[in-house]
């Protein structure tokens, strides 16, 4: 029996497997909103200044600061400058009412907020002899300079950036209507086992419904993968091989579930005999037995067959590797929480339990360690990590949790 590999070592192996693939898939151009959650394919440089022009940070008066000596001065009120207008140059000795975001007129170099003016309101439209008393004001006051957020030509976002609302908002502000993003990785997902039946069909004695396919496809979709489902393979390795041969060349990654353990009917192990796939014990519970390698050159991961093991395998190995190698998804937020109850954990294994983290920072374990407890999983909101060297923890002990 081989010495189990540490979680960190297997994480590195999975990242290495994805890194040494065919490189990033080619890019595709998408309208901004279709690119939500996708990854920028190229370094993106600002095609214009942001802000595009100097503009007012306040509702107030645009002035030439040299018209306002110490003690201030009374200035003639010029025509107002609304946002969106191309204003006339400011005449010396005058002050132009200006709205937040409106362009600073030529000849103006500062804004005095309306609250600092006397009177502290704008004269009615049409009055052409209004005057306003304004205090001394330093040049640049309340002006957002052109390019002060980002200047034209600067790197706006590097290739590999995940595009969320803020990033897409920046692209829109830069005037871009489309963006080049990496194509999603294509993954072939295949559940194995004689006992497994598609949901919605009748369930014969001794059979169970396939939850792995749904659980993993949902996880993979959330992580931005394009999933090709090849259905359920029974325990005949020749049939499994036939499915893999048919689809391997069309995908960037193959993921199977089940058939990787040490029992008598381990279909994935049998099918991979002679291929560059190894089956390694990882010092983790659940999700200990793992297959990893290549099938005709295509990266291959063999997850164990229980649903919780599948989810834990995905969260511990594939999801972080996708994030680090391909820029998406973002890592799970890592929190520290206090255990609501004591626990024990097997020596030498990194245990991953399911739990419910409440708003007060306390995490309650949901269900036992059993990897078949899919209802317990469904009522959890976090994974709870117990490091390999820890065998028991008291109530109130601090643990690392990952929010699902």
Residues 6-25 that bind a copy of itself (CB under 8 A): none
For a copy of itself, which is the closer residue by CB, 197 or 340? 197
| DSSP collapsed to 3 states, 319-331 | HHHHHHHHCCCCC
Q: At what angle do helices 319-326 and 7-19 cross, to 10 degrees?
A: 50
Place of tokens 């983290």: 357
DSSP code for 403:
E
Q: Which stretch binds a copy of itself (CB under 8 A): 44-52, 67-75, 276-284, 385-393?
A: 44-52
State in angstroms the smallest separation of the CB of 71 from a copy of itself.
27
State in angstroms the smallest separation of the CB of 363 from a copy of itself.
13
Place of tokens 């704008």: 122
Cβ atoms within 10 A of the Cβ of 231, count?
12
Q: Contacts with a copy of itself in 201-220 (CB under 8 A)?
A: 201, 203-219
Q: Under the criterion CB under 8 A, does residue 347 sit at the interface with a copy of itself?
A: no
For a copy of itself, which is the closer residue by CB, 23 or 206? 206
Q: Contacts with a copy of itself in 287-316 (CB under 8 A)?
A: 305-307, 311
Q: Contacts with a copy of itself in 315-334 (CB under 8 A)?
A: 330, 333
Q: Which stretch binds a copy of itself (CB under 8 A): 8-16, 79-87, 276-284, 291-299?
A: 79-87
Q: How many residues bind a copy of itself (CB under 8 A)?
A: 101
For a copy of itself, which is the closer residue by CB, 286 or 293? 286
Q: Under the criterion CB under 8 A, does residue 236 sit at the interface with a copy of itself?
A: no
| Structure token pair of residue 89 | 């140059």
In sequence order, which residues have a C-beta less than 8 Å from that of residue 42 and are 6 or more positions away? Answer: 27, 159, 180
Q: Under the criterion CB under 8 A, does residue 335 sit at the interface with a copy of itself?
A: yes
State in angstroms the smallest separation of the CB of 22 from a copy of itself.
27
Q: Under the criterion CB under 8 A, does residue 172 sit at the interface with a copy of itself?
A: yes
Q: Under the criterion CB under 8 A, does residue 73 sit at the interface with a copy of itself?
A: no
Asked whether the beta carbons of 167 and 157 are under 8 A apart, the reply is yes
Q: Biggest alpha carbon distance in the chain?
A: 98
The site map against a copy of itself for 22-41 (x = CB under 8 A) is ----------xx--xx----
Q: Contacts with a copy of itself in 246-275 (CB under 8 A)?
A: 261-265
For a copy of itself, which is the closer residue by CB, 220 or 244? 220
Asked whether the beta carbons of 97 and 80 are under 8 A apart, the reply is yes
Q: Alpha-carbon distance 349 to 341, whole Å?
A: 20
| Structure token pair of residue 396 | 């109130």
3-state DSSP percent of the chain in helix, strand and coil, to 5: 20, 30, 45
Q: Under the criterion CB under 8 A, does residue 149 sit at the interface with a copy of itself?
A: yes
Please choose, from the candidates 262, 45, 291, the residue with its C-alpha nearest in 3D space to the C-alpha of residue 175: 45
């Amino acid at each position: 029996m081989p010495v189990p590999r540490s979680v960190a070592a297997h994480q590195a192996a999975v990242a290495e497997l994805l890194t040494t693939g065919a490189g990033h898939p080619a890019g595709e151009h998408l309208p901004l909103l279709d690119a939500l959650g996708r990854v920028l394919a190229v370094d993106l440089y600002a095609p214009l200044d942001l802000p595009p022009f100097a503009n007012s940070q306040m509702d107030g008066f645009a002035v030439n600061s040299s018209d306002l000596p110490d003690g201030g001065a009374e200035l003639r009120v010029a025509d107002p400058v609304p946002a969106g207008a191309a204003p006339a140059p400011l005449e010396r000795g005058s002050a132009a009412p200006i709205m937040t975001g409106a362009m600073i007129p030529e000849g103006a170099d500062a804004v005095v907020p309306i609250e600092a003016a006397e009177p502290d309101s704008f004269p009615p439209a049409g009055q052409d002899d209004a005057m306003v008393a304004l205090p001394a004001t330093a040049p640049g006051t309340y002006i957002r300079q052109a390019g002060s957020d980002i200047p034209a030509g600067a790197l706006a976002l590097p290739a590999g950036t995940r595009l969320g609302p803020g990033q897409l908002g920046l692209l829109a502000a830069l005037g871009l209507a489309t963006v080049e993003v990496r194509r999603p990785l294509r993954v072939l997902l295949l559940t194995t086992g004689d006992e497994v039946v598609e949901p919605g069909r009748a369930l014969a004695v001794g059979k169970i419904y396939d939850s792995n396919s749904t659980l993993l496809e949902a996880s993979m979709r959330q992580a931005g993968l394009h999933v090709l489902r090849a259905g359920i393979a029974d325990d005949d390795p020749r049939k499994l091989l036939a499915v893999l041969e048919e689809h391997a060349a069309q995908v960037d990654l193959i993921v199977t579930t089940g058939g990787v353990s040490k029992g008598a009917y381990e279909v994935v192990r049998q099918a991979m005999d002679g291929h560059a796939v190894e089956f390694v014990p990882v010092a983790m519970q659940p999700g200990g037995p793992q297959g990893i390698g290549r099938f005709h050159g295509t990266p291959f991961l063999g997850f164990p067959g229980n649903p919780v093991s599948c989810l834990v395998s995905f969260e511990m190995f594939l999801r972080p590797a996708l994030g680090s190698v391909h820029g998406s998804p973002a890592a799970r937020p890592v929190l520290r929480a206090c255990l609501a109850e004591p626990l024990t954990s097997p020596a030498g294994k990194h245990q991953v339990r399911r739990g419910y983290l409440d708003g007060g920072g306390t995490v309650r374990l949901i269900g036992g360690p059993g990897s078949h407890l899919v209802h317990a999983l469904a009522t959890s909101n976090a994974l709870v990590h117990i490091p390999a060297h820890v065998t028991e923890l008291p109530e109130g002990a601090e643990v690392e949790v990952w929010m699902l």
